[in-house]
Amino acid sequence: MSEKWKQTQERTFTNWCNDRLRGHLKVPKNQITSLATDLKDGLLLIELLEKLAAPKTVGKYNKTPKIKAQCVENIATALRFVSEQGIKLVNIGPEDIYEGNLKLILGLIWSLILKYQIKSSGRGLSTKKAMLQWINVLIGMYRIENFSTDWNDGRALCGLNDRLKPGVCPNHYSLSSSDGLANCRLGMDLAELHFSIPKLLTPEDLTSPEVDELSIMTYLSYFFRPWNDQVLQWIQKTIPQNNIKNLTTDWNSGVNLGALADACFPGICSDWKKMDPTNATQNLERLFSLIDQRIGVQCPISAAEFADPKVDEIIVATYLSGFKNAKLKASPEEFTLRLTNLKNATAFVQKPVKIEIDVNKGASGLASEIKASVHGPTVDTPIVLAAKSDSMLEGTFLPAEPGEFEIFAIYAGHHILGSPCSFNAIDPQKCQVLGRLPSAMQVGQTYTVTISTHEAGPGELSVAFGESLKESSVYVTVKSIEDKGETHDIELLAETIGDENISIRWDESNIPQTPFNVKVCDANKVQATGHAIMTGKGRAGEAIKFTVHTSGAGSLEPTIVPRGKSAMYKPEISPDGKGNYMVSFVPWEVGNHSIEIMLGDQHINGSPFSIAVDPSLDADSCSATGEGLSLAFCGRKTTFQINSPDPNLLQKKRLTTTITSPKQNIPVTLADEMNGTYIATYTPTVLGEYLVNVKMGEKHINGSPFPLEVVLAPNAAKCRAYGPALDPKAVHIAGNPIDLFIDTNQAGHGELEVNAEGPKNASAPKLFVAQTNEVYSLKFDAPDHGTYYINALWSGVAIPKSPFKIAVRSAPNASLVKAYGPGLQSGVLSGEPAEFAINTKGAGVGKMVIRVHGVKGAFRIECAPDESNPRLLKASYNPQASGDYTISIRWSGAHIPGSPFQVYIRIDEDQDDEDIPEPSPLRSTMHPSKISAHENVKKTKTAKTVKEEEESGVTESETSRKSRKMSTGQTYPASKTIEVEDDPDVDDSDDVYLHSPSSPTQAFNTSGFNGTPAFKMPSRFGSPGIFAVPGTGPAMFAVQSKTTTTSKTTRVSSAKKPKPKM
């Protein structure tokens, strides 16, 4: 048992059990999902048996079994009940069901189906045969022979539905047999809709050639009940006086059978009332014979079996249902068969044979029962008869093969007059030409054509000439036709030069391959001329040319075959239309050659001609070029070029190319560029090392074999760039090399190409590249500031995020910073404002530190960028105490020109010291966590303060110290630091970039502002401060504290917007 139909059987039997368990419910209260496991405790098996055998019960059993012994006891109770119902159990016990022996369980379920579903005992007629007879009574047109493949196309199932309820599927017989699944689905849907027949199996199961027969029989048995009810109702209506109640025991005596036969066919059994019911077997034997002879309905079982009260209902119902559409038989002598369109009882394959049946008056109503068929050599074919009139039936038959045929016309099991009728069908297309037909013949030559006719049927062979099928010809004549039984030999004779069409016919029809044309020629009239023909010499690689003259020899073209030792050449032949053929070919083999020139199958005079071919240029004259000779990418089409002075190497088959390795060879194709250049193309699929072999003839060309490496194709997307050059937080200074790394480990085999582009007027940047284990280390050195772009390409394709934008800033150059203004000159009046300016244009990126040594709190400095020039800082202060002051201005640690500046502040004699206001600190709005500020003021100088002064070159004069003492009574210096960041792209534009807490880089435009400057320093040293930028958050500066000096730092960066790369 194959697994597939075993699974179908298990599913079908499970569905049947659940259908019987549910009774009148839509879904059973207790449902079986697996026959192997769900019957283990016996409860579902007992429930099923009591449903089937109701109102009988199995007796007492354990309704809540928990241990094996209780389960086995329940199963034993169920099996005893099965045996009591007369069902024979074979090799199955309680342990088999408990252990889930599916094979034995399925056998048990099938026994229950036979007993309670099909209700067949198998006595007299097996269940299968009984069901087949029943099915064929209902849908005899399908000639059902099994319960498997005959149901695959679904038409029979649809027909069964229509038979039970006419009209539900009237077109069932015309459904396409190729749509089996759709037909099966339709049939099952109709059965469920009209007869409530459950779908025990699926349409897919039904269409399978391996479908389980028991499953189909179980499903089809559901159709028996509605049909049985219809038969019983018909009988009760036909013989109501007999009070028929069933289709089993009511028919055992034969009395009711006689009554039904006489009611359907009056007079056939008029003495049925006189039958003795006690002589049941005798009554039935007489009735069976009578009904068979007059009605044609045969009983499948014996009279004794029919008389048994336990006779199967399906057998009785099937037998009785045959009465419904039966008709009395007429005598076969009432009909006569004739064939009307045959000559000498001979038909042609694929040509219709017309059949007519004459019907005597009085039998016209029975003529439709005549069954006509044709028995051919290999196939029997039914003939469809149609009534031409009340006195004639007609039909046609198309022979599909040659041979002897018989037409049978049967009525009531007997031949009618004229039946059987024999005829022969012939098929000229089955004639075969053995060998070949001549296409050319020499004058005076005979040729024998052999024709096989053994599959064509009986006939006569003949030969005709020309389009008009004449019996003779002036060019070719028939010497003889010899009949050898299954073959015929035709001997043809060529008489004169000319062309002729010849037809070979079988019973006046052309056989295959005819008509054919024969050219009669004379090879003795053909000549060949030319230098090579005359001298018998040639050279390899040089064309050999000659002319063949056929004028007056016939219309046949000559056959010219040049041959070398191992080569056969295809010559170029150019006819001039006058019987002359110019021939040329290029030999590439050295040695003796022959040139065969034939007209038809005969050599011309001198043929074959001998030509000695001398050596030509060798393989050293060829060369190969191209990257595909040494390197190829896996999966990519690759080419290289072969060059030769000979433009016909491929035509001569002298050039060969192979790519080999110990593991695998790579196929190569060669394309001829027709100019001595040949393109080799291949596509490698496996990595590794190969050899490219290029040969001309048997010799390698220069450089061959070429070593070839197949590597992974470059994939720029797999490259990865990283390093300080790409760090968005890094500041790059002109003249300082910048590192960039490119990792190509995953990018396949390729070539890295790197170039840098800088500002238009900048000096060319330098790139230094080194490689270590597929990682390229780049050092980028830009001598000038500006925006640079590094383009990185892997085998011509940009790697991810390339080009890389790098902003390079100028190096700090304190010598280019200029400070000027009266505020840096001595003589400033105390209490009067003093101003000076600091210009950082062109000085690069740096930190500006302004240190003031003088009297603490003597004045405050206000500093802001110029509105029109952000690189210009304007500073002002209003000194409140006189004395000597030192102003140091450093740019990135270096003094700018003129620094330190010595400034003496004098007191205006007209000013009262009491009028000098006390400086008040500017209140800060910054969050304390953003400010790093200390105001540590000491009364005396520390060693560190002294050291700072010495390093800065700033010392206090005695006058300054005295001034501080007079003004404050204390001696210590004060200092201020301002940090300025330069951007390489900002020159004189209005774009200024600030670093603020809310945005790492925000821009504002300094032009167009009126009123207060953009930057304000705090009113006192050591106090936190802010400056506001319109449209941005506050920018931060840091206040730095030292032992004796307090400094402030403000960071400002500016940059040009980069121009797009064109």
Predicted confidence at residue 1003, as pLDDT, reads 30
- In this predicted structure, the answer to whether residue 965 has a pLDDT above a threshold of 60 is no
pLDDT of the residue at 1016: 30
Three-class SS state of 440:
strand
Identify which has the larger pLDDT, 764 or 945.
Answer: 764
pLDDT band at residue 1058 using 50, 70 and 90 as cut-offs: very low
Closest listed residue to residue 52, CA positions, set 120, 127, 113, 121: 113
User: What is the mean pLDDT of the segment spanning 527-533?
Assistant: 92
Whether the pLDDT of residue 296 is over 90: the answer is no
CA distance 781 to 466: 96
Q: Is pLDDT of 1036 > 90?
A: no
Q: What is the mean pLDDT of residues 1018-1027?
A: 29
Q: How confident is the model at residue 362 (pLDDT cuts 50, 70, 90)?
A: low
Strands (E), 540-676: 544-549, 559-563, 572-575, 580-585, 591-599, 602-603, 609-614, 623-625, 631-633, 638-643, 655-660, 669-672
pLDDT for the residue numbered 2: 56
Between residues 481 and 648, the one the model is more confident about: 481
Query: What is the Cα Rg of the chain in Å?
Result: 59
pLDDT the model gives residue 615 = 81
With a threshold of 0.75, does the pTM exceed it? no
Most confident of 635-644, 903-912, 990-999: 635-644
pLDDT grade, residue 80 (50/70/90)? very high
Token pair in block for residue 420: 């059987």
In terms of Cα–Cα distance, which of 39, 58, 30, 56 is closest to 109?
39
User: What is the torsional sign of CA 656, 662, 667, 671?
Assistant: negative
Please give the pLDDT value at position 361. Answer: 66
Strand ranges (E), 744-833 = 752-757, 766-772, 775-781, 786-794, 797-798, 804-809, 818-820, 828-829
pLDDT tens figures, 346-355: 888 888 989 9
Say whether pLDDT at 481 is over 70.
Answer: yes
Residue 999: predicted pLDDT: 32
Of the two residues 188 and 1008, the one the predictor is more confident about is 188
Contact assessment for residue 365 and residue 375, using Cβ atoms and an 8 Å cutoff:
no
Average pLDDT over residues 740-752: 90
**Which residue's entry shows tokens 């075959």?**
561
Q: With cut-offs at 50, 70 and 90, classify the pLDDT of residue 993.
A: very low
| pLDDT (0 to 100) of residue 610 | 94
> Which amino acid is located at 170 in the chain?
P
Angle at 833 between CA 832 and CA 836, to 5 degrees: 140
Please, is 385 exposed, middle or buried when counting C-beta atoms within 10 Å of its C-beta (0-12, 13-18, 19+)? buried
The pLDDT of residue 697 is: 79
Asked whether the predicted pLDDT for residue 778 surpasses 50, the reply is yes
Give the C-alpha separation, 769 to 776, whole Å: 7
pLDDT at residue 366, rounded to an integer:
66
**Average predicted confidence (pLDDT) for the chain:** 81
pLDDT tens-place string over residues 33-64: 999 999 999 999 999 999 999 999 999 999 99
What integer pLDDT is reported at residue 449 of this predicted model? 94
pLDDT confidence tier of residue 966, bands split at 50, 70 and 90: very low
Strands 346-348 and 421-426: parallel
Of 846 and 17, the structure prediction assigns the larger pLDDT to 17
Task: Tell me what percent of the residues of the chain surpass a pLDDT of 90.
Answer: 46
Long-range pairs for 913-920: beta carbons < 8 A, 24 or more residues apart: 915/831, 916/830, 916/831, 916/880, 916/881, 917/880, 919/857, 919/860, 919/880, 919/1019, 919/1020, 920/1019, 920/1020
What confidence tier does 486 reach under pLDDT thresholds 50, 70, 90? confident
Residue 1029 pLDDT > 70, yes or no?
no
Task: Tell me the sheet residues that pair with 809.
Answer: 733
Residue 175 has a pLDDT of 93
Which pLDDT value is given to residue 331?
61
Q: Which of 534, 653, 675 is nearest to 588 (CA)?
A: 653
The predicted-structure confidence for 137-170, as pLDDT tens digits, reads as follows: 999 899 999 999 999 999 999 999 999 999 999 9
The answer on pLDDT for 381 being more than 70 is yes
Lowest mean pLDDT among 568-577, 693-702, 821-830: 821-830
- Give pLDDT, residue 363: 62
